[in-house]
Each structure stands twice: as structure tokens, then as C-alpha cells.
Amino acid sequence: MPAISTNDFKTGMTLELDNGLWSVVEFQHVKPGKGGAFVRSKLKNARTGQVVDKTFNAGIKVEQALLDKRDMQFLYRDGGEYVFMDTDTYEQMTVAPSALGEAADYLIENAVAILAMYQDEIVSVEIPASVELRIAETEPGIQGDRVSGARKPATLETGKVIQVPLFIGPGERVKVDTRSGEYITRV
């Protein structure tokens, strides 16, 4: 792994520090009136999502972690595992749901995700900001129930339960925001 200077920090860069993998969210070079310069940074743990503030002396060396980001196509579920195929090499890979996190709630067959790997371990999963999914089950809307903004629970084809407007019925396709898990629109 290459050692880089704190002066070369860039947003999105991944570092390997003594207690894990950290992504640089933001940083600022500070040159006070007296004393040495330093770099104030906000780091996000790549595995847990925890965000911490850390200050480094300017010019010290830290280890940069090189992540291997691959476009992977989700093929099918094999029991509790998810089977992905690398879109470049066509190699198949079995992934545990715990490694996917909340992204597993939005994966349907043939969906493409970007898996960031570090030493054969999946560190993060990037999926589109919104996906189109089918409503597997929900209670039908009642005629005459037109309360503005009213919502009801609906189960998506992936098993995730979201809140949708009363007029949405089973079998309809909806667009869902994958960052917040909220209904956007009917498709």
C-alpha cells in the first residue's frame, strides 16, 4: 500500500489507519499564526459508517487503501446468499446479506451494483439512487377514502416494507429512493 502525505488528501480517498478503513469525507489545511500547520479532517468508517473528526500534523505519512471497485450484476438468491457476476470477467461470487447491508432490500435479478472490495472483503455497495420495484402485497384502497397525504404499508417484491399512498395497489410498479427507503412515484 502506498504511503501518502496528509497534504495530498482528496475527498473520497480511502485510508488504512490503525483501527480500520476510513474514507475522507472532508478535510481542511490549517496554518495557524504560530505553531505548525495541520490538516483537520472528517473521516467515515468504511465498514460501520461511523464518522469521526481527526487532526493530522501537516506532511505526515498515512497508508492509502486501494479499493477494487467492480461492476457486479445480481443474478439470483441461493438460499440466504446472493450470487453476483463480474460484468468484465463473468466470474461468479457468492455474497452474504450482511456484507450488502441495506442494499439487499433493493436488489432484484439483473440489477447492477458497484462492489468496493479490499483484500477479498466487501467494504461497500453502491446501488442507484432510485429503483423501480413491484408491489407484492398491500391492502386495496377503499373507495371514497381520499384523505390527502394518507399512507399505507406495502411489501415490495424484495420483501422490504415501505409506506405508499392509498391509491397504490398490488402488482403496480413504484419508484423507491434507495437512500431513504421512501416511495417517490408510481411507474
Q: Which of 15, 20, 73 is nearest to 39 (CA)?
A: 15
| pLDDT of amino acid 82 | 92
| Cell numbers that stand for 15 in this block | 485510508
Higher-confidence residue of 174 and 150: namely: 174
∠ at Cα 48 (46, 50), nearest 5°?
A: 90
Give the Cα separation of 134 and 156 in Å (integer): 6
Q: For 125-147, what is each residue's pLDDT tens digit? A: 889 999 999 999 998 766 666 66
How far apart, in whole angstroms, are the C-alpha atoms of residue 140 and residue 123? Answer: 40
- 94-101 — which CB contacts under 8 Å span 24+ positions? 95/122, 99/125, 100/125, 101/125
For residues 37-58, average pLDDT:
90
Determine the 3-state secondary structure of 122 from DSSP. Answer: strand
Contact by Cβ (8 Å): 80, 41: no
- pTM for the whole structure: 0.75
To which residue does cell 461492476 refer? 71
Task: List domains and CATH numbers for the chain.
Answer: 3-64 (2.30.30.30), 68-126 (2.40.50.140), 130-186 (2.40.50.140)
Mean pLDDT for the stretch of residues 166-184: 91
Mean pLDDT of the 169-178 span: 93
Hey, is 20 helix, strand or coil?
A: strand
* Residue whose entry in the numeric block shows the C-alpha cell 437512500: 179
Q: Which amino acid is at 143?
A: Q
Could you report the per-residue pLDDT of 110-129, keeping only the tens digit for each?
999 999 888 888 888 889 99
Tens digit of pLDDT for each residue in 51-107? 999 999 988 999 999 889 999 999 999 888 999 999 999 999 999 888 888 888 999
pLDDT for the residue 145 = 63
> Residue 148 above 80 pLDDT?
no
| Predicted local confidence at residue 127, as pLDDT | 92
Rounded Cα gap, residues 176 and 187, in angstroms: 10
pLDDT attached to residue 56: 93
